[in-house]
């Protein structure tokens, strides 16, 4: 008639403890499964499914890959053909430039022979064959009255005597004072320059009558004469009141040596002055367009550099 006791299993274990043991075993199993059996990531499943689909697509449509490979091959062929065409054009350009140079040298030599230039004594063909290959020719434009300027250059940046010859032989750098002759050949002015040249041997004499209003023509004659005398990569025109850093000039030109057409200098531009009576009046202003137009961009006259092709063009079209 009293309170009933908890039932015990046959082995004497209480049913309550059996229930607790079962619940604990269940949670322990859940923990073990979560630790060692990771649930697959949905993103990875999507990637794997996509990879399988691509593989099936390639298996069913093998021509797609072939077409892509063919397109890549065709693109490579086109690039190769473009590169080959560019090389051919560059070769033709160099060949044309070489032919123009030869033509200019022959014409300049013929003109000098016909006019009796003191610079040229050989025939045109012999002179062309004997032209030495050099790096650059620097012509220092000077006048009869500029002896002090020439001496200043000799004492500062221009080598003299054996050093000048060594520079020509080892570096291929030619430097000459450029001057023509007086209106009375063989006069006092010409004899003074002849004596100076005999002392320093650094003149390039032109078949040209000196005069302030003939400076443009003198420059053209200089380029033509230099092209006929030396096969240079560059030809430089310098005024005799400009001092040069030869090392800087050489290193700058070396960077442009592979280019076929080069024009270097201190570039500028400005209005074309059509009004008469003003300083720097342009008599042929109409060639530059309407009134108030500007000159095309060009180098100042004190110093500039042109490559072989441009010097040849000047010589041919002078």
| Residue pLDDT, tens place only, 76-101 | 677 777 777 767 776 776 677 666 66
Residues of the chain with pLDDT > 70, as a percent, come to 67
Q: Let me know if residue 89 belongs to a domain.
A: no
The segments of the chain whose pLDDT lies below 70 read 1-14, 29-76, 86, 90, 93-94, 97-129, 291
The pLDDT value given to residue 94: 65
Best CA proximity match to 208, nearest among 228, 190, 235, 195? 190
Best CA proximity match to 140, nearest among 172, 179, 97? 179
Dihedral angle computed from the Cα positions of residues 287, 237, 241 and 167, in that order, rounded to the nearest 10 degrees: 170
User: Any bridge partners for residue 141, and if so which?
Assistant: 178, 239
Task: State the Cα–Cα distance between residues 120 and 130, nearest whole angstrom.
Answer: 12
The pLDDT value given to residue 53: 60
251 touches 153 (CB < 8 A): no
To the question of pTM greater than 0.85 for the whole model, the response is no
**DSSP type of residue 263:** E
Q: Let me know if residue 272 belongs to a domain.
A: no
Best CA proximity match to 176, nearest among 184, 185, 167? 167
The pLDDT value given to residue 30: 65
- pLDDT, tens only, 94-128: 677 666 666 655 665 565 555 444 444 344 445 45
Q: Let me know if residue 203 belongs to a domain.
A: yes
Dihedral angle computed from the Cα positions of residues 192, 197, 198 and 199, in that order, rounded to the nearest 10 degrees: 100
Q: Where are the alpha helices (DSSP H) in 157-187?
A: 162-171
The pLDDT value given to residue 187: 92
Task: State the Cα–Cα distance between residues 101 and 96, nearest whole angstrom.
Answer: 9
Number of residues written out for the chain: 318
Provide the pairing of β-strand 298-307 with 231-239: antiparallel
Q: Let me know if residue 124 belongs to a domain.
A: yes
Task: State the Cα–Cα distance between residues 144 and 178, nearest whole angstrom.
Answer: 10
Domain with 195, as residue range(s), is 109-256+302-317
Task: State the Cα–Cα distance between residues 295 and 132, nearest whole angstrom.
Answer: 37
The pLDDT value given to residue 154: 96
255 touches 166 (CB < 8 A): no
Q: Within 10 A of 187 (CB to CB), how many other CB atoms are there? A: 12
249 touches 173 (CB < 8 A): no
Q: Let me know if residue 146 belongs to a domain.
A: yes
Task: State the Cα–Cα distance between residues 225 and 204, nearest whole angstrom.
Answer: 9
Q: Let me know if residue 266 belongs to a domain.
A: no
Q: Let me know if residue 199 belongs to a domain.
A: yes
The pLDDT value given to residue 89: 75
Q: Let me know if residue 83 belongs to a domain.
A: no
- Mean pLDDT, rounded, of the chain: 79
Give how many domains the chain has, as a whole number: 1
């Amino acid at each position: 008639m009293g309170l009933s006791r908890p039932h015990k299993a046959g082995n004497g274990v209480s049913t309550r403890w059996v229930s607790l043991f079962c619940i604990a075993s269940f949670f322990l199993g859940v923990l073990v499964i979560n630790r060692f059996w990771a649930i697959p990531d949905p993103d990875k499943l999507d990637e794997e499914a996509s990879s399988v689909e691509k593989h099936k697509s390639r298996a069913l449509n093998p021509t797609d890959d072939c077409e892509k490979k063919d397109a890549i091959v065709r693109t490579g062929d086109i690039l190769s053909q473009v590169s080959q065409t560019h090389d051919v054009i560059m070769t033709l350009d160099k060949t044309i430039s070489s032919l123009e140079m030869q033509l200019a040298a022959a014409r300049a030599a013929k003109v000098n022979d016909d006019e009796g230039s003191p610079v040229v004594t050989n025939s045109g063909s012999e002179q062309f064959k004997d032209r030495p290959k050099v790096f650059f020719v620097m012509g220092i434009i000077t006048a009869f009255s500029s002896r002090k300027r020439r001496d200043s250059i000799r004492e500062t940046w221009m080598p003299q005597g054996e050093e000048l010859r060594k520079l020509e032989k080892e570096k291929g750098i030619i430097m000459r004072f450029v001057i023509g002759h007086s209106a009375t050949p063989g006069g006092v002015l010409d004899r003074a320059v002849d004596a100076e040249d005999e002392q320093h041997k650094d003149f390039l004499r032109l078949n040209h009558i000196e005069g302030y209003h003939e400076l443009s023509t003198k420059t053209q004659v200089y380029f033509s004469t230099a092209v006929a005398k030396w096969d240079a990569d560059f030809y430089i025109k310098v005024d005799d009141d400009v001092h040069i850093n030869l090392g800087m000039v050489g290193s700058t030109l070396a960077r442009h040596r592979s280019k076929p057409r080069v024009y270097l200098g201190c570039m500028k531009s400005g209005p074309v002055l059509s009004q008469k009576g003003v300083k720097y009046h342009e008599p042929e202003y109409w060639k530059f367009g309407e009134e108030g137009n500007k000159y095309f961009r060009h180098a100042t006259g004190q110093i500039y550099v042109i490559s072989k092709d441009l010097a040849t063009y000047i010589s041919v079209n002078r």
